[in-house]
Each structure stands twice: as C-alpha cells, then as structure tokens.
Structure 1
Amino acid sequence: MTKQLLTTKEAADYLGVSKAFLERDRWAGARIPFIKIGSRSVRYRLNDLTDYIEKQIRTSTSQVA
C-alpha cells in the first residue's frame, strides 16, 4: 500500500484553502494532521485530508463542530 504525501501547496489546492491557512493550522495546534520530515519539510497524507473533509460535514449552519 502506497501512501501519497502532498506538499503544503498541493494539500491546500486539494482542500481549496490557502497555504497560509494550513500554516496557521499547524501553528495553532493542527486540526489537520501533518508529517514533519527532517527539520523543515512538511507533508500531508491524502488519507488524512480526506478524513478531515469527512469530519467537516454538517447538516445545519448552526451545528457546532
């Protein structure tokens, strides 16, 4: 089984958000799981991004996460 690793830019494109959104998320406590490779390289697993999307499904705008 191969796990596809995405860069921050690729992950942002996949989620439809900005790179800055993902950078802030990591700084603030990472609701979206990421992998740190070495001292600077950050990658996202496609499965984690898909799971994050699934957890965001709501049936009402007043529904709390």
Structure 2
Amino acid sequence: MKQHFTVPEAADYMNTTVRFVRRLIAERRIPFHRLGRHVRLKKADVDAFIDAGRVEAFDPAAARRRARRAS
C-alpha cells in the first residue's frame, strides 16, 4: 500500500479537486513534504485531516436539553 500521495492522487483519495488540495497546501492546513519541485502528502496526514473535519450526528434530545439549561 502507498505511504505517500502526489497531489492528484490525494485529490482522488479525498474525492475532491487538485485545486482544493493545492489550496490546503498553500494555506498550510495539511502537512506535506517537498522533494525538490515535487510535493508529497503522507497518507496518515491526509487521513488525519479528513478525521479532523468530522461532525458528529445531531441528537435532537440532547439539543433540547441544552436549550432548556440555557434559558
């Protein structure tokens, strides 16, 4: 299994565009390795970026409880 992705491979893995991956790199929102002119992204770093964006499922009962406590 691959340990590192090229930018197009990372975009394909994340099911997004190359432009989006390049923007993440430019904004330093995802770790990367530069090998001369080439950029590589570690699979574990891409997975960590994906996991960091996880949003938990909505629980209506918990939202009502929080709303009652706030009032």
Per the normalisation by structure 2, the TM-score is 0.70
Structure 1: any 5+ residue segments left out of the alignment? 61-65
What number of residue pairs does the alignment pair up? 58
Instruction: State the percentage of identical aligned residues.
Output: 35
Hey, what does 1:33 align to over in structure 2?
31
- Structure 1 residue 59 displacement after superposition: 2.5
2:17 is equivalent to residue 18 of structure 1: yes
Residue 3 of structure 1, CA deviation: 7.0
Structure 2 Cα separation of the partners of residues 10 and 18 of structure 1: 10
Structure 1 moving runs of 4+ over 4 Å: none
> Of Structure 1 and Structure 2, which has the larger fraction of its residues in helix?
2
Larger Rg: 2
Task: Tell me, yes or no, if structure 1 residue 53 matches structure 2 residue 50.
Answer: yes
